[in-house]
Structure 1
Amino acid sequence: MLELLQILIQIVQPFFVPICLVLAWGFLIVIVWSLGAAIQDTVRQTKKMHQIPCADCVFFTGNYHLKCPVQPKIALSEAAINCPDYSSRNLTSTR
C-alpha cells in the first residue's frame, strides 16, 4: 500500500507546481477583481449620496431629532434627492 502511494505521488508531483501557480494567480485575480468592484460600488454610492440636497436646504435644521420640519420622513435619505419642497439657502440669502 505504501509503495502504491509513493508511485502515485511521483506521478502527480510534476503537476503540483503548475497547478499551484494557476491557483495562486487565480486567487490574486479574484482579490483584485473584488477590490475593484468594491471601489466602484463605493464611488457610485458616494456620488448618489452627494445628490441629497438637504444640507443646503433652508428648511434643514441640523437637529438630530427633527432634521426637516417639512419632510421629516425623507430628510437626509435617497428619497430626498428630488424633494419637491427643497429651497436653497443661497437663493434665500440674496433676496
Structure 2
Amino acid sequence: MSDPWTLLGERKILDDEIRAALVAQFGTRGKKALDAIDHHLVKKYLDFFVVTGSSGDYVISEGVCTCPDFAFRQKPCWHLIAVRIAEATGIFETVDTWYQETWKG
C-alpha cells in the first residue's frame, strides 16, 4: 500500500485510495480523522487549527495536540491526522478570528 502522505502531497485530493491508505496506516485513528474531515470538524483560526472531538475542542499547533491521548502517548492522535489531511487538501473551515480570543477565562 502506498504512503498516504506522499499520495496527498501529489494529488491534493482525498480519493478512495488515499482513504484506504490512511486507514491501513492508522487504523481507528485514521477512520476518526476521515470522519472529522467528512463532518467538517476541522477549523483553521488565525492562530491555530482546532478539531472538535467528542469531549470538546482540541488545539493543534506545530505537531502537538491538546487532547489527553496525545499527552499520554506522544504519538499522532486522530486530531493531528485530521489536521494534516486538512492542510494537504484544503478541506477545513476558515474562521477569521484568533482562537485564543474565544477562550473563556
Aligning the two structures, in what range does the TM-score lie when normalised by the shorter sequence? Answer: under 0.3
Q: Which has the larger radius of gyration?
A: 1
More helix by share: 1
**Structure showing greater relative contact order (alpha-carbon pairs closer than 8 Å, 6 or more residues apart):** 2
TM-score, length-scaled by structure 1: 0.23
TM-score, length-scaled by structure 2: 0.21
